[in-house]
Chain A
Amino acid sequence: MYPFTYHRPASVRKAVNLLASSEDAKILAGGHTLLPTMKQRLAAPSDLIDLNGVEGLSGIEQKGRTIHIGAMTRHAEVANSDVVKEAIPALAKLAGGIGDPHVRHRGTIGGSVANNDPNADYPAACLGLGATIVTNKRKIPADEFFVGMFETALEEGEIITKVLFPIPRKAGYAKFPNPASRYALVGVFVSKRGKDVRVAVTGAGPCVFRATALEEALAGRFAAKSLEGVTVSDADLNSDIHASAEYRAHLIGVMARRAVAAA
């Protein structure tokens, strides 16, 4: 690890000021991607701005038909939250399937969403539920937030404060884990809220995306049967030592059916 300056601000405003005044600062939330990268000397931020001392960034509450989850809320809190389990059980299940207990007690939703790892689970939930990402500056719909591989709509000096999930009528998540890392090799999050049917796919492509062919197939009847025979193109999917694009495309169909069946 290269040397860096560590900051522990008490408020989002102070964190933003520090970001503005540092040359190459990184935000530290759970640290589960950032710290290993730094230990491998692949990242060398000048400053680390630790959000763990910021008041009010953590917590879960239901307001009307929306679940508010603070950016610093740990995966384990979401997985075990009675509010989430009642309102969006698929989201609780997804959070409970991230990493291992150590990761779930340290990793945060805000960190995961901001990092936008192409194999992470939370981006699928955000896109699959039509969530809104709230920052210190604005509200960003999930459809506009996840821009590309490890790329988001976040701008300089922008910090996620919470994520708002509208409560769907039905939702399900099915994940085929990478056998080694247990990140999603393919994860499919499906939901139905009124006429809004969403199928979000993580792990398969360079960035989480919506599978429109599957959404259209589900628009008539939200049932696994509706997806039979519907194929997903492997044209833009990842191919690596674990899975070819062809296998990933096939798994999208299988996981989508299983997610719908579980919803």
Chain B
Amino acid sequence: MNANGIGARVKRVEDKRFITGNGHYTDDMNRPGHVHAYFLRSPHAHARVKGITSSAATAMTGVHAVLTGDDLAADGIGPLPCGWMIHSKDGSPMKTPGHPCLAQGKVRYVGDPVAVIIADSLALAKQAAEVVEVDYEVLPAVVDLATAQSSATLLHDEAPRNTAFEWELGDKAATDAAFDGAHHVTRIELSNNRLVPNAMEPRAAVGEYDAGTDHFTLWTTSQNPHVARLVMSAFLNIAPEHKLRVIAPDVGGGFGSKIYVYPEETVCVWASKKVRRPVKWTSDRTEAFLSDAHGRDHLTTAELALDERGKMLGLRVKTLANVGGYMNLFASSVPTYLYATLLSGQYDIPAIYAEVDTVYTTTTPVDAYRGAGRPEATFVIERIVEVAAREMGIDPATLRKRNFIRKFPHQTPVIMAYDVGDYHASLNKAMDLADYKGFGKRKRESARRGKLRGIGISTYIEACGIAPSQAVGSLGAGVGLWESAEVRVNPVGTVEILTGSHSHGQGHETTFAQLVADRLGIPFENVSIVHGDTDKVQFGMGTYGSRSGAVGMSAISKALDKVVDKGKKIAAHLLEASEADIEFKDGNFTVSGTDKSIDWTSLALGAYVAHGFPPSEIEPGLKETSFYDPTNFTFPAGCHICEVEVDPETGVTEIANWVAVDDFGTIINPMIVEGQVHGGIAQGVGQALMEGTAYDSEGQLLSGSFMDYTMPRADNLPSFKVDTTVTECPSNPLGMKGCGEAGAIASPAAVINAITDALGHEDLAMPATAQAVWRAARKTSQRAAAE
């Protein structure tokens, strides 16, 4: 094995520049003569914009322009689209009125951009913004998700009952019949709390227009620069694709929030032509809280039907999903095909029926956030399984095992066909590592100290490697979800990989190079990974949904196959042998059964000097491209076990132990995978215990800064025990499944299952803050006193 090849714990090569301050982020891009954009945002959750007076601002020296929604309309710049069509039960298409980049007629959340002020300095732009007068007619806010459909106030005239669609999946009649024959029905109501993404690097954009070539360049914090260019060209009418270059340089975290095309970057690139200067904008943290797409925000009722032994018969789920003020780019797919299709979990459930209504409220738009639909699904199924086990007096691990899918492939009643897995293996390993058997002793020991101890299991599954283009197309996606790769071999044998995947923390420069070093038998250092620039990489669908390994690396793998094939052809000529006799191993092309061989570097040079083969048979050069379209989703799965100790006096929950056993298929770099799991768990624990997005009744964001919005920190978390089991994914050449979101998907249910186990009742919502747990613990002691 190559020392830096597949399976090696190679240290991340990109980290040196990041931790020494030598990264190049969007805000580091300083263009000659650039000016600064400041967005004047709505202070109201819902209002009619009756007029904007900007003459005092435009009169200020150094102010280049004050632009509004009218200016966008005059230039034919379209509204931001939603890229995934969902149809309601009655067959009608979703109601998604456009999302203008600057308000046109109305504002629909606090922070909705109303105007942009472009000035020589940011301070001046802010000063000018103070004299822009906006005449608002304030309208009632619609904040409460539970009642938004019955509100007398409509956000969009086109969407009656503030509802974008009422969607269903599964067989209602079969599911109802399963409930009719059930021995036991467990019913739960739960909320999946709204989260603010808070990537370390806030969003930023620099737009530049070259009048000489009539060409735009946009530097932006994007997870998928080609998709951004496509949307800006095809839907927004900024410029045709060949006249627009989008560069997403080093990006400091995305978690989904940087998938979308946002108003600010669109305005920066559009305005750069209007003011004939590069236009720069960097979000501050306050703006990020208000304007980055939020995550989750569901209200769900779920019912599980079981027979006498706890065998699951049917699952019925009704979810209200909050999409905020506008339907964001992929917002319609998140609570539908990324959510309800995973409600079968790891279980053989014969009948499932899910209904999802998506609802507009006067809050920040909601879209995909690490896990995107799958954490919500896992929370539903893993909570209801746990509650069912407790109600039926069956050990939760036992109930899970009785229902695990054992035979693969397995067709669930909700579209997904699981390819491979071994759910018993991960649960058993996790129970061993967590010393599940010894829990009773630990619980008694905690009780002696006045503490409540609980243990919670979450056996999760997710669908990654999104996705087969034909399949998602049939479900309403506006794009295909393949990936592209180009392998450029230089004459000296070094290799550049151009990938449509985008790294914003994942470590692609390391893992992708490991694959190449492994396959070509060349030094790891001789490989560089190029990404994030539409002028360099021909096209790509970007990074989200844990797809860079399963899809992005599969494309590289296919392109490498082509390179090796061509290398063999060239080697056959250079070695005067038959192509069929050429073997490629450890960087050498060898004539089978002989000691005649040519090494990689000589072969590469041979390909470029082209002296040794006829051009009629072989083109000079060594460069190959591949577009890889997956044949199925991949299905990472595993088991997380969380053990907590609750202080009933204060309600503080301490995570005493955490075990994660994940099946990600083939692993390229265990260190990076462990890091992904650690970060995912941290985010999931954040959701479960800390992160509460709070709006008041007027639609003002109360948790609008780190003073009031609790992010998880190192001292909130234990040292995790992370392990794996492996079943190789059969649907891609590397056997990979994806690991980027698993931790965030698995963990919230494990935490809440553990705390409710400690408390002895289920009445606890996320985030389970100390106050919430204290209240719940008082309920426990009141019940004990009453008994």
Contact = CB atoms under 8 A, between A and B. Distances in A.
B650 A179 contact: no
Given A1-B123, A251-B650, A241 B692 contact: yes
B771 A244 contact: yes
Interface in A159-175: none
Given A241-B694, A241-B703, A247-B771, A180 B649 contact: no
Contacts of B394: none
A40 B286 contact: yes
A242 B771 contact: yes
Given A179-B690, A241-B692, A41 B126 contact: yes
A40 B123 CA distance: 11
Contacts of B286: 40
Interface string B94-138: 000000000000000000000000000001001000000000000
Interface string B229-251: 00000000000000000000000
A244 B778 CA distance: 15
Contacts of A241: 692, 694, 702-703, 708
Rank and list the top 10 A-B pairs by shortest CB-CB distance, nearest first.
A180-B710, A181-B707, A179-B710, A241-B694, A247-B771, A254-B649, A241-B702, A180-B708, A243-B771, A180-B709
B185 interface: no
A242 B769 CA distance: 8
A176 B651 CA distance: 11
Contacts, number: 37
A250 interface: yes
Interface of B: 123, 126, 286, 649-650, 690, 692, 694, 702-703, 706-711, 769-771, 774-775
Contacts of A247: 771, 774-775
Given A40-B286, A181-B706, 12 more contacts: A41-B126, A179-B690, A179-B769, A179-B770, A180-B690, A180-B703, A180-B710, A181-B707, A241-B694, A241-B708, A242-B769, A247-B771
Nearest to B716: A179
A243 B709 CA distance: 13
Contacts of A243: 771
Main secondary structure of the interface of A (DSSP, over half): loop
Which of A40, A41, A176, A179 has most chain B Cβ within 10 Å?
A179
Interface in A235-263: 241-244, 247, 250-251, 254
A255 B223 CA distance: 46
A138 to B, nearest CB: 34
Contact of A242 (B126, B708, B775): B708
Given A1-B123, A179-B690, A247-B774, A254 B650 contact: yes
28 contacts: A1-B123, A40-B286, A41-B126, A176-B650, A176-B770, A179-B710, A179-B769, A179-B770, A180-B690, A180-B703, A180-B707, A180-B708, A180-B709, A180-B710, A180-B711, A181-B706, A181-B708, A241-B692, A241-B694, A241-B703, A241-B708, A242-B708, A242-B769, A242-B771, A243-B771, A244-B771, A247-B774, A254-B649
B588 to A, nearest CB: 54
Nearest to B709: A180
Contacts of A1: 123
Nearest to B126: A41
A251 B651 CA distance: 10
